[in-house]
Amino acid sequence: MVKSVLFVCLGNICRSPIADAVFQHIIKTRDVEAQWKVDSAALIGYHTGKSPDTRARETLKKHNVLYNGKAREITKNDFLTFDYIFGMDESNIRELTNSKPSSSSAQIFLLGDFDPEGDRIIRDPYYDSGSEGFEKCYQQCVRSCNGFLDKLDKDGNLKA
């Protein structure tokens, strides 16, 4: 059975595409990519159709992680089709929770809830002058995505 994850941040050009790329890289490395549908989206459509921030792309390239997605805005259908939806900070979680239709069975989490180091908030590095915030975001996503996958049973459901 295929499970699905959607990574969400404000504009879908920094944090969520990094998380999307990292998750795809990890499931490929673990040889379970056929078991997953992976995507990312924005809470606002300001950057729709654009590639991720240059610093995000450079950070992924530095770690040999491929990504060629374009920004898109989250839709009502996403809440109906994805099993897990991950926000990057508390503001994302509030917006996702408020937007979630009552008919949705998607589970909404902070991606950082799965960081074994307890670094729960993945801060938006967009307004930083350098790329250090993007590197920190990348490292948090690696730990959190691995942490999430490690908490799943063989069917892709969170263990009790």
Cα separation, 70 vs 42, in Å, equals 10
* Cα atoms in the Cβ-side hemisphere of radius 13 Å centred on 52: 26
The answer to whether the CB of 15 falls within 8 A of the CB of 137 is yes
9 in catalytic set: yes
Among 20, 39, 115, 124, the active-site one is: 124
**Is 141 a known active-site residue?**
no
12: left (phi over 0), alpha (psi -120 to 50) or beta: left
Helices (H) and strands (E) in the chain, counts: 5, 4
Active site residue 124: yes
Selected catalytic residue, list 14, 15, 53, 83: 15
3-state DSSP assignment of residue 101: coil
Residues labelled catalytic: 9, 15, 124
